[in-house]
Structure 1
Amino acid sequence: MTNQPIIRFENVTKQYDDDPAVLKNVSFEIERGKFYTLLGPSGCGKTTILRMIAGFMQPSEGNIYFDGKRINDVPANERQVNTVFQDYALFPHLNVFENVAFGLRIKKMKGDEIAKKVKEALRFVNLAGYENREIKGMSGGQRQRVAIARAIVNEPEIILLDEPLSALDLKLRTEMQYELRELQRRLGITFIFVTHDQEEALAMSDEIFVLNKGRIEQSGTPTDIYDEPVNRFVADFIGESNIVPGKMIADFKVKFGEKEFDCVDQGFRPNETVEVVIRPEDLEITTRENGKLQVRVDSQLFRGVHYEICCFDEAGNEWLVHSTKKAVVGDEIGLNFDEEAIHVMLPGETEEEFDKRLEAYDEAGHEE
């Protein structure tokens, strides 16, 4: 085992004939033993990345490395990777044991060794004793566990999961999120999970790659992605956000809604046009005279654990508030927030541009 990334994409592009590129010069690294999520809307390129890692598809340009070795032309069956598909791809005419044992029989493993490995894999996914069950009589969650057991029984270095929870109902889906995360921790191998569900990605991942139109918009931990989005797409796609126009007055001071506020952001030019993000849960309702912002309540919905309140400030900006306090439509109220709740972005800035801007700022000798 080495310290280098288990997977590395180097300037990878995928294009079909004259169609627009599905992936556009994508580069990233995957470390061993972590839970990664490829997150983005339909058609953003996340499943294409998964299929390239699996060997079902080759890049049009660029290189893919596994443990430092180029694998562009390595067949799928020679890669130390197993895939759990969205529909699980189980054999309905085979029972649980034979489904899990299928790959081992292809390898011509001895019967007693197959039995031992299948039993261990089923125990890992909490299906001990289900060896003789028929697939057609199992629930969606049980079928998924069988698919995962079939993947791990081959002892791959990476398990790829292509939206495996999408067909489950909400309660079972939540349960399986916990189970998958715990399974990955127990196995200690690399999971790469594809989803368009941002809550799922935030709940399960060590690291997230947010994709849009064939490019990686941002990568990082769930906390990084949620608290420090680099641009409007990420801020809007990950959770709910209030995004309003603003102007950076100086380091740690920004203007929006016709007022100036202290913030924690720096590295912008004075009077630079920016976008300001404040999450709905970071806004606190108070009286109009005690609020940092004065707003008028336009609408309100009860969401069970909180009220979702839509307001407009005096500059015409819309504000979404998540609060346990009930408001009255038409009332003039105040909104308070901490300076740490304010996040400032440059319109259209990419993650690479974001990193370069802060690096240049640090090199210029600025300190917090």
Structure 2
Amino acid sequence: MKQPIISFKNVIKCYDDDVPVLKNVSFEIEEGKFYTLLGPSGCGKTTILRMIAGFSEPTEGDIYFEGRRINNVPANKRQVNTVFQDYALFPHMDVYDNIAFGLRVKKLPKNQIDQKVKEALKMVQLAGYEKRGINEMSGGQRQRVAIARAIVNEPKVLLLDEPLSALDHKLRLDMQYELRELQQRLGITFVFVTHDQEEALAMSDEIFVLNNGNIVQSGTPVDIYDEPINHYVADFIGESNILNGTMIKDCLVEFAGKRFECVDEGMRENEPVEVVLRPEDLDLTDEEHGKLKVKVDTILFRGVHYEIICYDDEGNEWMVHTTKKAVPGTTIGLYFDPEDIHVMRFNESEEDFDARLESYED
């Protein structure tokens, strides 16, 4: 494996005498990928971004860029640029001057500045907008100007601090596609901060899920969605049905008063566990063919599917996403395959979780 472009080694960050914002955080970022730091407000994701940018220093631990320790390297000496949530554009300057600002500070020749600005505008599909005023542009166009201003300096890493949060829903979706396509076209490393799990799943090569100053799980969007490590991740990433259960033995789990075949292994016999079934993995059927019998409580139309809330004989609530309709008050069956059941151990570390998965996948 080639050397990572960014590494955090046992980083702790405290402000004054408060509880640490980051608690012994370690991770590596490879060159040329789209990474997302995902978590709720106050979890530490923006603090990580600020330390990569050089706006904040770790209280303990080390940060490396291409193998070189950069704890005390000032922001203007780092090969990174940041796109802020409010874009931080100069309203008194036109598009061209906003993008050219950093190049002029570096005292580049005028013809070189002109070439770089026009190339950057072309990359973000704003060629011909050079003389447009910032206040005359839409939110999506302003964001692209902010990105052009960042990439014109040819950074090795582009940091994006919740840049889509101020946009309306449709524009936000459009910009997700544009950002992902831009990253792939440029081939530089993007580190994106968001609290929106759908955004993270749609855009990322790798996701770091944070909670309370710790990275609780990292991996591809598919890995994190299909194999959440604990209740927090399962509940935060998408909709989930989470129940207490017992791992009877390898590939056999008990929950909702019944035993079911599953694909999980490597746990103790009769170990208390939590069980996850995603709403879209549940199929409606009749009582006779269902693995569980449930009574329909409510049904809502969500546009692309119905969201059905129902209850089993044990009083457990089940959420189902399906294109089939059901009638409130009726009793139906729920069917699912062994592969749809995901079993989580209590207090399992990510290292132990990964090792257990590898042991029975091999």
Same fold (TM over 0.5): yes
Kept in 2, the 8 Å contact 1:232–1:348? The answer is no
| Aligned residue type for 1:203 | A
Residue 129 of structure 1 aligns to a residue in which SS?
A: coil
- What secondary structure sits across from 1:8 in the alignment? strand
Return the alpha-carbon distance in structure 1 between the equivalents of residues 305 and 44 of structure 2.
35
Which amino acid in 1 is paired with 2:136? G
2:304 partner letter: V
Amino acid at match of 1:38: L
Whole-Å separation in 2 of the counterparts to 1:367 and 1:162 = 37
List per-residue Cα deviations over 1:74-99 (Å, max 9, x = no partner): 00000000000000000000000000
Normalised TM-score (structure 2): 0.98
Distance in structure 1 (CA, Å) of the matches to 2:355 and 2:315: 34
- Offset at residue 317 of structure 1 (A): 1.3
How far, CA to CA, are the matches of 1:139 and 1:198 in structure 2?
25
Structure-1 residue corresponding to 2:334: 335
Q: Tell me the residue number matched to 1:348.
A: 347
Partner of 2:298: 299
Aligned partner letter, 2:289: N
Match of 2:272 in 1: 273
User: SS in structure 2 opposite 1:289?
Assistant: coil
1:299 Cα offset (Å): 1.4
Given that 1:100 and 1:153 are in contact with CA atoms closer than 8 Å, whether structure 2 keeps it comes out as: yes
Per-residue Cα deviation, 1:172-194 (whole angstroms, up to 9, x for no partner): 00000000000000000000000
| Matched residue type, 2:288 | E
Matched residue, 1:29: 28
Q: In structure 2, how many angstroms separate the alpha carbons of the residues matched to 1:358 and 1:152?
A: 39
**Aligned partners of 1:18 and 1:350: how far apart in 2?**
28
Unmatched tracts of structure 1, length 5 or more: none
Alpha-carbon distance, 1:358 to partner: 5.2
Q: 1:135 to 1:30 in 2, by over 3 A?
A: same
Residue type at the aligned position of 2:340: A
1:357 deviation in Å? 4.9
1:229-248 aligned at under 5 Å gives the runs 229-248=228-247
Taking the aligned partners of 1:130 and 1:34, their CA distance within structure 2 comes to 29
The aligned counterpart of 1:310 is 309
Other-structure match for 2:178:
179
Provide the residue aligned with 1:284 in structure 2: 283
Corresponding residue of 2:73: 74
Secondary structure of 2:121 counterpart: helix
CA distance in 1 between counterparts of 2:197 and 2:357 reads 27
2:157 counterpart residue number: 158
CA 1:217/1:367 → structure 2, altered by over 3 Å: closer, same or farther? closer
Note the C-alpha offset of 1:113: 0.2
Secondary structure of 1:288 counterpart: coil
Equivalent position of 1:142 in the other structure: 141
1:254 aligned residue = 253
**Paired residues for 1:41-120 under 5 Å:** 41-120=40-119
Q: Which amino acid aligns with 2:180?
A: R
Corresponding letter in the other structure for 2:271: E
**Alpha-carbon distance between aligned partners in 1 of 2:361 and 2:264, rounded to the nearest angstrom:** 12
SS of equivalent residue, structure 2 residue 275: strand
* Number of aligned residues: 362
Letter in 1 for 2:342: H
The 2-side partners of 1:20 and 1:299 are apart by 43
| Whole-angstrom distance in 1 between the partners of 2:353 and 2:220 | 16
Q: Distance in 2 between matches of 1:268 and 1:316?
A: 27
Q: CA deviation at 1:350?
A: 2.9
TM-score, normalised via structure 1 length:
0.96
Amino acid at match of 1:323: T
- 3-state DSSP of counterpart to 1:327: coil
Return the offset for 1:302. Answer: 1.1
1:4 matched to which residue of 2? 3
Equivalent residue, structure 2, for 1:168:
167
Structure 1 residues 358 and 170, CA gap change in structure 2 (3 angstroms):
closer
Unpaired segments of 5 or more residues in structure 2? none
**Greater CA drift, 86-95 or 295-304:** 295-304
Matched residue type, 2:349? T
1-structure distance, mates of 2:296, 2:321: 13
Percentage identity across paired residues of the two chains: 73
Cα RMSD for the two superposed structures = 1.2
